[in-house]
Structures are given as structure tokens and as C-alpha cells.
Structure 1
Amino acid sequence: MPTIQGYVRKMSHKGISPVSYFWETANYNEVDKKDLTAKASTSTSSVEAWIGKKITLSTNDIIRCLHCGKKTKKSFSQGYCFTCFTTLAENDLCILRPETCHFHKGTCREPEWGKTNCFKKHTVYFANSSGLKVGITKENPVSNRWVDQGATYGLPILEVESRRDAGILEHFLSQYLPDKTTWQKMVAGDPPDIDLVREANKFLNHLEKNEFNSPMDSKTKLVWKRLDLSGGVTTINYPIETYPEKIKSLKLTKETPITDTLVGIKGQYLLFRSGVINIRSLSGLWIEVST
């Protein structure tokens, strides 16, 4: 395997049986000394060939913002400089808590971005990653979101017209079941068996007895489309030889490179014998991968 260097992005992937992963890196032209409009060239490498081999991850601790390319001493929101973290709509609080969307108040950071990304059909789903959870996504296919979360099983249950509407329903359902994945359980092994169709029908029947107001008009009932569950649950298979011997998060710094045998990949985690590392959390960091 040739040495790979660059500013890392979250891993891309395709397929679900099994999932194929790709290592994404960016490199910058240093002509712009002020780093104000840094342009990146990107490269992609398959990750499956690394499984079963001892690899080394090392870094010089340099971080470049995912959006503007500017060097930043600290990463905010998994790879952004402070300016982009505080000004871009994609980093606003409502992205983490979509039920708090404030577009209708005229205070969206980037109204055009909001129209394009938030006012489109969203899916509310049930998934099993470390146990039953509820989530939302605008991705198509929905399985792209499940793979990023390390879910082994997934089931779309509802469709709505906007991210805010999806967030309101997710917030309601999260009162009764988790909306987060416990990463320690997710990387430790296969999740417990759960009948997602049964759980979905139970909550959908309960949901239909409740009225929700539209975020744009308090007098208008929020409308959703109940999806057909007869298609069954989607199963996702990850490229894993074995699960880690120790369930701990490995830290990558200039002083602490990681050298270990890669035993699998799940979600955005590289699974080593001695622990795991979340590649998405390292977005924007310069990393070298070698055998």
C-alpha cells in the first residue's frame, strides 16, 4: 500500500452488502499565503485493502477548515474554523436540533442555503446501531445515513416536507426512545435483535393520535406521510474481520501516532485491535497513512 497524505475528510462509501469505504483527502496550493481562499485538490483511496494489515496513522497537527481551507489551531463542529463555524448555516444550532429552525423568523444565516437544504422532503426513520433509535435525513437512499451512523438495520417510517417538520416529529419520538447512537456499543459487536416493524407500527399508531402545529403557522396542523412498511427492514453488512479487543477511543496527535492492525470499519470508525478512532471527528486534520 502506498503512503497516503492529506487533510482528511469523512470516509465516503457505497453499497450495503457489504459497505465499500473510501479514504478522502484534500491537498492545498500554498500560493495564497494568507490562506483566505485556499483551493484544494481531492483524492480517493479504497480502504478495504487495509483490513488485516498493520497500518500507521500519523499527523503534524495542522488543521484546515473544511469550507474555506484556512489553517485553524482548533477544529469546530468537526473540521471548521471559528469564522465558518459561527457564520455558516450548516453549522447553526438548528442543524443539531432541527425543531429549533428559525427560517420563518427571517434569521437564517444563509436563506438560500436553507431553501435548498432544509425545505425538501425528509425521512423519519428507525434504526438499530447500538439499539433502537429514531433519526431524520434528506439523503437518498436513506441507507447512506444509516451507514454513517454504523446502523446494522434501518426502516423508513415517515416522510415530511421540511427538515423542521422532521425535527418536530423526531423530538416527539425521542421522548420515548433514543435519538443518539452509543458508539461504545456500536463498535463492540452486532446490536441486539429488535423488531423494527413492530416498534414502528406501535409508535406510528400513537403518533396519529397527536396533533402537531406547523412551524410556519401555529394554526396549521403539521402533515406527514406514513410510509409503507411492507418492504421490510434493510440490513447493512460492514467490512469487519473481528471487533476490537478493547473498546476505547484512540487519540491521534503529532506526539501519539497510531500503529495497529486494522480489523474492520463501521460507521465512520476505523476498528483496530487496541481500540477505535472516529475519522469524521478528525475532518480537516493532516494525516499520513502508511503500512
Structure 2
Amino acid sequence: MFEGDIRELDPQVGEPVTYRLSLSSGTIELASWFNKTVRVNFTGVRRCIVCGRKVNKLFQNGYCFPCVRSLAECDLCIVKPHDCHFHLGTCRDETFAEEHCMVPHYVYLAWSSGYKVGLTRKGRQFKRWMDQGATLALPIAEVPTRKLAGELEMEIAKHLPDKTDWRKMLKEEQRPEQSLAELRQEVVARLTPEFSQYVLSDVTTYAFRYPRPEGFNVNIKSVQLDKQPIWEGTLRGAKGQYLLFDEGVWNVKKFAGYEVSITCL
């Protein structure tokens, strides 16, 4: 039995992608748990993943309300990078911004639930792609700040989605009709000089395969620990931040901060 507060699934590049379940007390290697029954018992306790405060409700995947109001990583500009206000002198934490925002970022194309455009901090691109359940990913440009990456993403999003449909991503029903390299050429051709100066000249398409049985039919029913605190099912695979069971799918990161005991039977 493993006990602790949930953090997230931690994917590692492999063939296929390997997964660890991160808890506040340590990590669980999941490779040996596939095709076995897993029982999750939510104790009813919720703690902020930053300050550890016990609360009745958590926000933004594990933060208490005071932390949501004060931490830079919970500011709206994290999900809307083009609205970065660092230059206005109103950033919640300039040290955080210097380390996470005022650094090189990639703008990329990916295939997850379909074609999409996204951005990620340079050096974290593989984790970002695997967290989103991308099966293919291809950088477009490298820009010096998160704000500029957000502006470029917005420009490309005029023609391509910038969101992932988690249901389609998990079902893997569609396959790309056009290679990401071909799509990238079309995207680059539409860019203005303001952005085209950052386009990468030498890029690679990266492919990811996730652990799941061939022909596995995903049950899209979501595991909800608030409604069913004791839950068990047969673990078949993982993709993105989801564990895939015969009985449903569990978005692990959604329940970050929940105290649980987890057993592989």
C-alpha cells in the first residue's frame, strides 16, 4: 500500500512512454501494475500542494485559494501567456518570471486529439508533449520569452486549434492525413517577419507511443473521487495525465492534493 497526497503522473520518454505516479510521499512505478486491479481510497483530506494547508476545496489542480490569489504560477497569464504583464511591473513574483517566463520557449505543432498549436519552455518540451498525450510533435520556432511565444501561438491559432479534446485524445480514433512537417511549411508561410525571424531551420518530428493493449476500447467514464472515494478497477494503460481502466479513466492531476492510499491487488 502507498499513502500520500496526489501530485501528478510523471511520464518518461521510452518505447512506450513509461509512467510513475507521484505522491507527496514518493513515487510509484506503474509498469508492473498494468493489467492488475488497483484500489484507490480517498481519505477525505485535501491539502494545498504548495503550503500544505488543509482545505475543503482546491483550485487549479491542487492549490488553496490564498495560494491561487498570490502565487505567480496561478496567475491568469500562465494560461494566457500573451497577457503577460511583467513589463508593466505588476508581476506577482519577478524571480519566478525571470526563471520561468523570461526564458526561451518553443512554439510547436502536435497531434493529440487532432492538429494543435502550443507552447512550452525550452528544456521541458518532452514532458509537455507527453502530458498532453501527443503522439507526434514538431517545433516551429524558438522565441526569447513566454509572452512572445503566446503571441505567436495566438497568431497560428487563427488557423489551427490550441486546445486538446481529452476524449478524442484517449480514444485515438483519428490519424493525421497530413504530416506535421507539411503542416509546418504552411504555417510558416503565413507568418509575418515579426515572427518568421524566430522560425527554426532544422527540426525533427518526435513520436510517442503510450502503454495500452492493442485494440483497447477506452471507457470515457471519469473517475470522481469526490463522489466515489473508494474506487477500484483494472489498470490497462496510461496517456497524458490519465490512467486508463476497464471501468473508466482517471485524470490524476485533477486530484492533486487529495490524500489517498493506493493498493495494487
TM-score (norm. length: structure 1): 0.86
Larger radius of gyration: 1
Q: Give the equivalent residue in structure 1 for 2:12.
A: 14
Residue equivalent to 1:204: 188
Q: Among residues 92, 98, 101, which one is paired with 2:81 in the alignment? A: 98
Shift of the 204–16 alpha-carbon distance from structure 1 to 2, 3 Å rule, reads: farther
Shift of 1:112: 1.4
> What is the aligned partner in structure 2 of residue 247 from structure 1?
220
Distance 2:79 2:218 in 1: 32
Which residue of the partner structure matches residue 58 of structure 2?
75
Between Structure 1 and Structure 2, how many residues are aligned?
262
TM-superposed deviation, 1:254: 6.6
Greater percentage in helix: 2
1:110 maps to which residue? 93
Give the one of 201, 204, 207 matched to 1:235: 207
Per-residue deviation, 1:246: 2.2
Secondary structure of 1:11's partner?
strand
User: For residue 24 of structure 1, what is the aligned residue in structure 2?
Assistant: 22
Counterpart secondary structure, 2:141: strand
- For 1:223 and 1:165, the matched residues in 2 are separated by 12
Q: Does the Cα contact within 8 Å between 2:218 and 2:244 map onto a contact in 1?
A: no
Alignment partner, residue 262 of structure 2: 289
Q: Per-residue displacement from partner, 1:110-132 (whole Å, max 9, x unpaired)?
A: 11111111000000000001100
Match for 2:147: what amino acid?
A: R
The equivalent position to 1:270 in structure 2, one of 243, 246, 253, is 243
User: Does structure 2 conserve the Cα–Cα contact (< 8 Å) formed by 1:8 and 1:283?
Assistant: yes
| d(CA) in 2 for partners of 1:16, 1:48 | 12
Contact 2:106-2:119 within 8 A present in 1 as well: yes
Residues 122-201 of structure 1: pairs in structure 2 closer than 5 A: 122-189=105-172, 191-193=174-176, 194-201=178-185
Change (3 A) 1:6 1:244: farther
What secondary structure, in the 3-state scheme, does the structure 2 residue paired with 1:55 have? strand
Equivalence for 1:86: 69
Amino acid at match of 1:226: V
> How far is 1:190 from its partner?
5.4
Is the contact made by 1:126 and 1:134 (CA closer than 8 Å) also made in structure 2? yes
Unaligned regions of 5+ residues in structure 2, if any? Answer: none
Contact 1:58 1:253 in 2 (8 A): no
TM-score, normalising length from structure 2? 0.94
**CA offsets, 1:165-199, max 9 Å, x none?**
00000011112111111000011125412410111
Secondary structure of the equivalent of 1:18? coil
1:62-111 deviation digits (Å, cap 9, x = unpaired): 11111111111111111000000010000000000000000111100111
Output one character per residue of 1:221-242: Cα deviation in whole Å (capped at 9) or x when no partner.
x67421135x531110111125
Cα separation, partners in 2 of 1:92 and 1:141, compared to 1, 3 Å? closer
Structure 1 contact 61–254 (Cα < 8 Å) conserved: no
- Deviation at residue 244 of structure 1 after TM alignment: 4.1
In the alignment, which residue of structure 2 is the partner of 1:30? none
Q: Is 1:44 aligned to residue 27 of structure 2?
A: yes
| SS of residue in 2 equivalent to 1:264 | strand
CA distance in 1 between counterparts of 2:101 and 2:20 reads 27
